[in-house]
Copies of this chain bind each other. A is one copy, B any other.
Amino acid sequence: MPRAERERQMLDAAVRVFGERGYRAASMDEIAELAGVSKPLVYLYLNSKEELFTACIRREAQALVAAVRAGVRTDVAADRQLWDGLTAFFAHTAEHPDGWAVLHSQARSGGEPFVAEVGVARDEIVAFVTALIAEAAGEAHQDPVRAEREVAGLAQAVVGAAEALAGWANTDPSVSAREAATTMMNFAWSGLGNLMAGRRWSVPS
């Protein structure tokens, strides 16, 4: 069996085990067994537990970012872009719960190297959202030089809210990606105040 395919198998198994157990509690034995190979082969291809986990983080992060990017067309309005991105995000996390667990829960509790690794991907998403907000602000011809810091905070809040909703949606399988994205847009775009006043958001045509 060619090396590339074996490596994919190993990463699949590793993502699953790391996602379920966490970095420390996962054992290389279990990963190797789930991948259907011997432990030494895992070491031959991926060098160490740390590198294996890093490789998992990297692969899952890139897949998630790619999925979001693929879901967004840049030639539409900002709210539509945000809605498309959120839909893609919720769909991807729902389809890859272990990958999402690795990124969201496990990588963050594993200490420096992993936090940094997952931070890179998160920053990419945050940058995407930041650009959207800035663009929307431009569209609205409002205060074009909004303080970077405020926009950064808002982007963090958007991403955090989306992450929380992803966890919520993954817990309750009856929640679809569309519903999660709609809730998110209602929350983020309209604001609770508007919602309370009866003004809700809907997908722009």
Contacts and interface: CB of A to CB of B under 8 A. Distances in A.
Interface of A: 21-25, 79, 105-106, 108-111, 133, 136-137, 139-140, 142-143, 150, 152-154, 156-165, 167-168, 175, 179-180, 183-184, 186-198, 201
Contacts of A196: 133, 136-137, 139-140, 142
14 contacts: A24-B24, A25-B110, A106-B109, A139-B196, A150-B186, A153-B165, A154-B183, A160-B160, A188-B192, A190-B191, A190-B193, A190-B194, A191-B195, A193-B194
A81 to B, nearest CB: 12
Contact of A189 (B110, B179, B191, B198): B191
B154 A164 contact: no
Contacts of A108: 105, 109
A157 B153 contact: no
A160 B187 CA distance: 12
B160 A164 contact: yes
B21 A22 contact: no
A179 B153 CA distance: 9
A188 B186 contact: no
Contacts of A179: 153
A110 B106 CA distance: 9
A133 B198 CA distance: 13
